[in-house]
């Protein structure tokens, strides 16, 4: 009898999960591609699979594809997620803020389920703040450190990490390489077995390890400010020691 109940519960939860995530993609990045590592390094490398994105809790008017760029208008606050989950991978993405102190970011290894009191999901956030954020958010007459605005890495929604360059539980970049609004920035994010290393505009400047969540969706964040994205590529690596099929 107990085994029958367990089977029914598992079937019910699986059905709910299917309903939550069997959604039509909100948009595709015309410039976004996903490769396996073998495809990416093949001498006969062709185009990867076009990346598709599913709305979690934003609206159609939050996002707009324009040629080879994606525009995020910032409201309502929330995320879109990748169509599939990723474990070990490299993410290349270029971004440009359009407003002073603009706020956005990318979540990796996320379940893509917003919290009860927070419209943003869990995972590890790769922060994207515009340089004027520190000037607009002084506290007790003091500015936050400039390294806070670009590439800070931290676990959210119960996900814990070990910071390479601690600012409390967060990890801040050791060097400011971020450009201001109206200029493109490049992030290369390497995610393998609970370790993340971040390169900003051609140099690795930050990282975390021991993430308690090591597989999930990639999310793009709308957080109140207009931001552009382009040239997004994901290269999937083989499964690692943390893999749970």
pLDDT, tens digit (0-9, with 9 covering 90-100), for 151-210: 999 999 999 999 999 999 999 999 999 999 999 999 999 999 999 999 999 999 999 999
Give the whole-angstrom CA distance, residue 238 versus residue 45: 18
16 inside domain? no
Q: Closest by alpha carbon to 157, among 127, 115, 126, 128?
A: 115
Residues of the chain with pLDDT under 50: 2, 5-22, 29-31
H/E stretch holding 80 reads strand 78-82
Identify the pLDDT of residue 146.
Answer: 78
- Asked if 99 and 135 count as a contact pair (C-beta separation under 8 A), the reply is no
Identify the pLDDT of residue 16.
Answer: 40
9 inside domain? no
- Asked if 92 and 135 count as a contact pair (C-beta separation under 8 A), the reply is no
175 inside domain? yes
Give the whole-angstrom CA distance, residue 109 versus residue 125: 9
156 inside domain? yes
| Domain containing residue 163 | 25-236
Identify the pLDDT of residue 35.
Answer: 81
For residue 76, the 8-state DSSP code is: S
Identify the pLDDT of residue 104.
Answer: 97
158 inside domain? yes
> Which pTM does this prediction carry?
0.85
Identify the pLDDT of residue 24.
Answer: 64
Identify the pLDDT of residue 25.
Answer: 67
* CATH number reported for the structural domain that contains residue 215 in this entry: 2.60.120.560
Give the whole-angstrom CA distance, residue 82 versus residue 3: 35
- Residue 206 sits at the vertex; the CA angle it makes with 29 and 214, to the nearest 5 degrees, is 65
- Number of domains, the chain: 1
Identify the pLDDT of residue 150.
Answer: 81
242 inside domain? no
């Amino acid at each position: 009898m107990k085994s029958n109940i367990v089977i029914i519960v598992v079937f019910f939860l699986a059905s709910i999960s299917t309903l939550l995530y069997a959604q039509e993609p909100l948009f595709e990045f015309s410039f976004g591609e996903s490769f396996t590592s073998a495809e990416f390094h093949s001498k006969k490398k062709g185009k990867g699979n076009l990346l598709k994105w599913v709305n979690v809790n934003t609206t159609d008017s939050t996002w707009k594809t324009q040629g080879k760029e994606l525009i995020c208008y910032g409201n309502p606050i929330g995320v879109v997620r990748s169509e599939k989950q990723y474990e070990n991978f490299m993410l290349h993405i270029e971004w440009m803020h359009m407003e002073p102190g603009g706020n956005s970011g990318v979540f990796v290894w996320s379940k893509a389920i917003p919290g009860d009191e927070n419209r943003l999901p869990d995972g590890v956030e790769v922060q994207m703040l515009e340089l004027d954020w520190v000037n607009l958010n002084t506290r007790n007459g003091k500015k936050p450190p400039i390294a806070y605005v670009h590439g800070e890495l931290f676990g959210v929604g119960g996900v814990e990490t070990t910071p390479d360059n601690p600012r409390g539980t967060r990890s801040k970049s050791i060097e400011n390489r971020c450009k201001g609004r109206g200029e493109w920035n490049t992030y290369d994010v390497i995610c393998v077995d609970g370790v993340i290393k971040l390169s900003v505009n051609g140099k690795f400047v930050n990282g975390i390890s021991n993430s308690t969540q090591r597989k999930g969706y990639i999310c793009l964040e709308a957080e109140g400010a207009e931001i552009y994205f382009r040239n997004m590529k994901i290269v999937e690596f083989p499964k690692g020691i943390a893999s749970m099929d």
